[in-house]
Structure 1
Amino acid sequence: MPANKKPGPSVKDDELYEKLRDEGNSKEKSARIANAADNSSRSKVGSKGGKSGSYDDWSVDDLRKRAAELDIEGRSKMNKSDLVDALRNH
């Protein structure tokens, strides 16, 4: 990305966003993480989880519903392990 072009006004931590994009993360995921880090601190971003059960414990129907909420393409043809992988890496 050129040095004079910023990712957009909704991204609060441009430096972290660029690092995440360079690692291969999607624009949406990079913005979500950068904004979460800006709202608290970078060290606390990963420690917020743990409130939801593992996707491995979900039924295929529930996984497909969640994938639909996130608009993951090809979800209707995915098996359980593909759905879990797609949701974890979204």
Structure 2
Amino acid sequence: MPQSEPQLKDQKLYEDLRKEGNSKEKSARISNAAAARGRSSVGRKGGESGSYDDWTVADLKKRAKEIGLTGYSKKNKSQLITALRNH
């Protein structure tokens, strides 16, 4: 059975987040949470995520593996960061 396209509850917010450079997964998660709980409550909930620039190459590769990226083993740090941000 083919997997259906996920349903977005706030398409405009999703598109705005994608234009800012957020990943598809993160944009969908935020836009759906905002539609369910209200935009202001979503903004207050989360903390600050550390910058990928502060991560080690080993940690970046581990994260790339966790989210299913391919070809990460041959990438340098800046290429890994770009790939993770664009995932």
- Count, aligned residues: 80
The aligned counterpart of 2:66 is 69
Identical amino acids, percent of aligned pairs: 56
Instruction: Work out which of the residue numbers 7, 11, 31 in structure 2 matches 1:34.
Output: 31
Question: In the TM superposition, what whole-angstrom CA distance separates every residue of 1:45-81 from its partner, at most 9, and x where no partner exists?
Answer: 456340x321111110000000100111211111001
TM-score (norm 2): 0.62
Higher RCO, 1 vs 2 (CA within 8 Å, ≥6 residues apart) = 2
Equivalent-residue separation in structure 2 for 1:77 and 1:71 (angstroms): 15
Question: 1:12–1:38: 8 Å Cα contact kept in structure 2?
Answer: no
Give the 3 Å change call, closer, same or farther, for CA 30–56 of structure 1 in structure 2: closer
Equivalent-residue separation in structure 2 for 1:55 and 1:30 (angstroms): 18
Q: What is the alpha-carbon root mean square deviation over aligned residues?
A: 3.2
Runs of 5+ unmatched residues, structure 1: 1-6
Aligned positions of 1:13-24 closer than 5 A: 13=9, 15-16=11-12, 20=15
1:29 is displaced (CA, Å) by 4.7
Question: 1:36–1:45: 8 Å Cα contact kept in structure 2?
Answer: yes
TM-score (norm 1): 0.61
The aligned counterpart of 2:85 is 88
1:36 is displaced (CA, Å) by 2.5
Runs of 5+ unmatched residues, structure 2: none
